[in-house]
Amino acid sequence: MGLTVAQKILKEHLVDGDLFSGDEIGIKIDQTLTQDATGTMADLQFEQMGVDRVKTEVSVSYIDHKTIQMGFEDADDHTYLQTFAKKYGLYLSKAGNGICHQVHIERVGAPGKTLLGSDSHTPTGGGIGMIAIGAGGLDVASAMAGMPFYLPRPKILGVHLTGKLNPWVSAKDVILKLLQILSTKGNVGWIVEYFGKGVKTLTVPERGTITNMGAELGVTTSVFPSDEETKRFLEAQGRGEQWAPLEADPDANYDRIIEINLSELEPMIAQPHNPDNVVTVREVEGTPVDQVMIGSCTNSSYKDGKTVAEIVKGRTVHPNVSCGYAPGSKQVLRMLADEGELSHIIAAGFRVLESACGFCIGAGQAPRNNAISIRTNNRNFYGRSGTVTAKIYLVSPETAAACALTGVITDPRDLESKFGINYPKVDIPEKFTIDDSLLLPPAAPEEAKTIELYKGPNIVDPPSGDPMPKDLEGQVAGKFGDKITTDDIMPAGDLLKYRSNVPKYAEYVFVKRDPTFASRCLENKKKGVWNIIVGGDNYGQGSSREHAALCPMYLGVKAVIAKAIERIHRANLINFGIIPLTFKNPDDYEKIDQGDEIKIEGIRKALIDGTGEVVLKDVTKGIEIPLEYHLTERERKTILAGGK
Ligand code: F3S
């Protein structure tokens, strides 16, 4: 039987399990990436493993999330990351070099390789023909130490692309369309693989936009073939020798196929507050806009920036709209500057922001109260922008530029018919400007031994967990609804400065939803009572932030019981010794309340035996609720031990 691209790469890297049977497979990881919001903890964990140098082909530590450095904490962390990278054999991408996924696809990623990143949008690398997976920091630290990465044995969802995008319709609209079809729910365990004649009409950065936001589907990753277009991109990046062809066999078997005719797509928009709340721009046009933010790892390529520059050239943004543009990398910023394109963006009235995550993670550019903010990033969860009352819409750069000029939500095709603006067809350049001066290489092994790690006072060794007790007796410390994100559990923004200080950061668990949650947990912990979290559907969706499991572990949380738990968060819970349980009967969610005393008798034995189910006794209500768990033997052992 023929193989798909994903199956070929996985087969090449398989170290445990079978691609066509069983629950999970273990693969060898060639490359890792970490970013500063997750990397300090990953590095601290790596230190505890006692390995003297990373075992991967290449590992890069990026500084892109907290580049504003509002207090000493961020700057201290960045210096720690730099000394760590130099000592342990990683490249360090300095603040200013750009957003990890953009830089990785430009300068590091290569077809046929595996990449594990402590950032949920690591699948961006699928645009260049990699199996690129987002994971928690501890899993990435383990991969840096040479251990395999385990993932559910994937099912392959083929997306058959035909046709060609029309002017004013772009890669973002492709992935928004797919989110409309598949939603953010129910896709766990799948790998999305693009194939068909439409593939070759998309450049690598466009493919990267699609695989980037594929993360919002909740799938393991997304991947494109490596073809002539991939070769052209790598050659333009001066890395032609790293190209290798990679295509699905003609008789490859996909577990499911979705057809998308690119010629039939139109501009799409994700409405508040979920990336799958997608309609056509036409359906909401005319709504007044307060803010437009262009950039983020989804839409910050050279092509995206130049397209925006050419659209706004010689024009001025609407007086009621606050506009910002963040180029994805130093390469993009420098090229747009050298070519005079940046000048058009500045002249039109955009503020030029750093080549960093910035507004996407709520680090600056919080909109005004009740604002309508149009953004090109990939997530519009409630409160992520920094303003809880704001409404965030996700669009392509073309649509964002149109909204900036008109002051209302505008289908960009109207720019041509109503304003006489021709669609600027932007291709990748023949040669990108190559300057890796902010990508610092590691020290040679001999010199590395002499390097002292820098640790500021806010950097605290990570805590470890307790083994699973014989019986789990505890209290429902918090009950939450559907679609709780990792940002709801462990808010980012300014609090990210505590990411290397778990006891401090843990004070803010669920602070946006329930400000007394953490103190209640700590009181229970003091009394020797375990804490239990109850959640609805899609619990833990969003970023790969392992602090959303690590900090609850510190607070004494030992179980999460939900209707469904998102993939990366589930893995993080296991890594930190918290058992992910689901209701056998989802309606039982209604029967259990915050403050209930609960008991799960024989939970340790059930995990040893792998029964797949346990019974929760709600002592307060005098009822019993059947629960399930779906854990491999390896995962059960991890939880029994109290975490990885
Ligand atoms: Fe950064 Fe936002 Fe991407 S936080 S890595 S730009 S999703």
Residue-wise pLDDT for 440-459, tens only, equals 999 999 999 999 999 999 99
Q: Are 330 and 355 in contact (CB under 8 A)?
A: yes
CATH number, position 546:
3.20.19.10
pLDDT of residue 494: 80
The answer on 335 and 241 residing in a single domain is: no
pLDDT of residue 496: 85
Number of domains in the chain: 3
**Mutation pick for ligand 1 pocket among 212, 294, 357 (CB with most ligand atoms within 8 Å):** 357
Q: What is the mean pLDDT of residues 369-393?
A: 94
Q: Is 296 in the pocket of ligand 1 (CB under 6 A)?
A: yes
Q: Is 357 in the pocket of ligand 1 (CB under 6 A)?
A: yes
Mapped onto helix, strand or coil, the DSSP state of residue 440 is strand
Residue closest via CA to ligand 1's atom 5 equals: 297
Give the active site residue among 30, 43, 64, 304.
64
Q: What percent of the chain has pLDDT over 70?
A: 100
- Look at residue 431 and tell me if it is in a domain: no
- Give me the phi and psi of 149, to 5 degrees please: -105, 135
- Look at residue 458 and tell me if it is in a domain: no
- Look at residue 447 and tell me if it is in a domain: no
Residue-wise pLDDT for 434-444, tens only, equals 999 999 999 99
Measured CA to CA in angstroms, residue 131 lies from 148, 290, 354 at distances of 14, 39, 29
3-state secondary structure 317-385: CCCCCEEEECCCEHHHHHHHHHCCHHHHHHHHCCEECCCCCHHHHCCCCCCCCCCEEEECCCCCCCCCC
Q: Residue 39 Cα, ligand 1 centroid: separation in angstroms?
A: 14
Q: What is the mean pLDDT of residues 385-401?
A: 96
pLDDT of residue 168: 98
Residue where a domain stops, chosen among 384, 419, 454: 419
DSSP secondary structure string for all residues of 267-298: -EEEPTT-TT-EEEHHHHTT-B-SEEEE-TTT
Partners of 604 in beta bridges: none
- Look at residue 532 and tell me if it is in a domain: yes
pLDDT of residue 118: 95
Residue-wise pLDDT for 313-342, tens only, equals 999 999 999 999 999 999 999 999 999 999
Crossing angle of helices 330-338 and 302-312, rounded to 10°:
40
The answer on 177 and 32 residing in a single domain is: yes
The answer on 331 and 210 residing in a single domain is: no
The encoded tokens of residue 415 equal 């720019």
Q: Residue 161 Cα, ligand 1 centroid: separation in angstroms?
A: 27
The answer on 60 and 18 residing in a single domain is: yes
The answer on 276 and 251 residing in a single domain is: no
Residue keyed to tokens 């963040």: 326
- Look at residue 449 and tell me if it is in a domain: no
The beta strand positions in 228-271, using DSSP E, are 256-261, 268-270
Q: Are 393 and 268 in contact (CB under 8 A)?
A: no
Partners of 476 in beta bridges: 532
CB atoms under 10 Å from CB of 495, counted, come to 16
The answer on 380 and 246 residing in a single domain is: no
C-alpha closest to that of 152 among 62, 72, 220: 220
Indicate if 64 belongs to the active site: yes
User: Which sign, positive or negative, has the C-alpha torsion 329, 139, 56, 220?
Assistant: negative
C-alpha closest to that of 185 among 538, 635, 591: 538
Residue closest via CA to ligand 1's atom 2 equals: 360
C-alpha closest to that of 488 among 276, 639, 299, 273: 273
pLDDT of residue 384: 86
The answer on 341 and 228 residing in a single domain is: no
Q: Are 498 and 71 in contact (CB under 8 A)?
A: no
The answer on 633 and 540 residing in a single domain is: yes
Residue-wise pLDDT for 231-275, tens only, equals 999 999 999 999 999 999 999 999 999 999 999 999 999 999 999
Domain containing 75: what range?
A: 5-264
The encoded tokens of residue 278 equal 């997608």
Q: Is 294 in the pocket of ligand 1 (CB under 6 A)?
A: no
Measured CA to CA in angstroms, residue 563 lies from 73, 377, 590 at distances of 37, 28, 11
pLDDT of residue 595: 97
Q: What is the mean pLDDT of residues 24-32?
A: 98
Q: Is 373 in the pocket of ligand 1 (CB under 6 A)?
A: no
In the chain, the amino acid numbered 8 is K
C-alpha closest to that of 108 among 225, 234, 247, 232: 234
The answer on 285 and 235 residing in a single domain is: no
Q: What is the mean pLDDT of residues 584-612?
A: 97
Mean pLDDT across the chain, nearest whole number?
96
pLDDT of residue 362: 87
Q: Is 33 in the pocket of ligand 1 (CB under 6 A)?
A: no
Q: Residue 360 Cα, ligand 1 centroid: separation in angstroms?
A: 6
Q: How confident is the model at residue 465 (pLDDT cuts 50, 70, 90)?
A: very high
ipTM confidence score: 0.99
pLDDT of residue 605: 98
- Look at residue 461 and tell me if it is in a domain: no
- Look at residue 127 and tell me if it is in a domain: yes
pLDDT of residue 10: 98
pLDDT of residue 435: 97
CATH number, position 56:
3.30.499.10
Residue-wise pLDDT for 578-593, tens only, equals 999 999 999 999 999 9
The encoded tokens of residue 126 equal 């699928």
Give yes or no for residue 393 having a pLDDT over 90. Answer: yes
Q: What is the mean pLDDT of residues 11-19?
A: 97
Residue where a domain stops, chosen among 264, 291, 315: 264
Q: Residue 357 Cα, ligand 1 centroid: separation in angstroms?
A: 5
The answer on 42 and 12 residing in a single domain is: yes
Q: Which residue has the higher pLDDT, 186 or 606?
A: 606
Long-range contacts of 76-79 (CB under 8 A, 24+ apart): 76/454, 76/455, 76/456, 76/457, 76/458, 76/459, 77/36, 77/40, 77/456, 77/458, 77/459, 77/497, 77/499, 77/500, 78/36, 79/454, 79/456
- Look at residue 176 and tell me if it is in a domain: yes
The answer on 283 and 258 residing in a single domain is: no
**Contacts for 50 with CB less than 8 Å, ≥ 6 apart:** none
pLDDT of residue 71: 86
Residue-wise pLDDT for 173-232, tens only, equals 999 999 999 998 889 899 999 999 999 999 999 999 999 999 999 999 999 999 999 999
CB atoms under 10 Å from CB of 633, counted, come to 10
**Contacts for 83 with CB less than 8 Å, ≥ 6 apart:** 451, 452, 453, 454
Residue-wise pLDDT for 413-425, tens only, equals 999 998 999 999 9
The answer on 201 and 170 residing in a single domain is: yes
3-state secondary structure 293-319: EECCCCCCCHHHHHHHHHHHCCCCCCC
Mapped onto helix, strand or coil, the DSSP state of residue 558 is strand
Residue-wise pLDDT for 509-567, tens only, equals 999 999 999 999 999 999 999 999 999 999 999 877 899 999 999 999 999 999 999 98
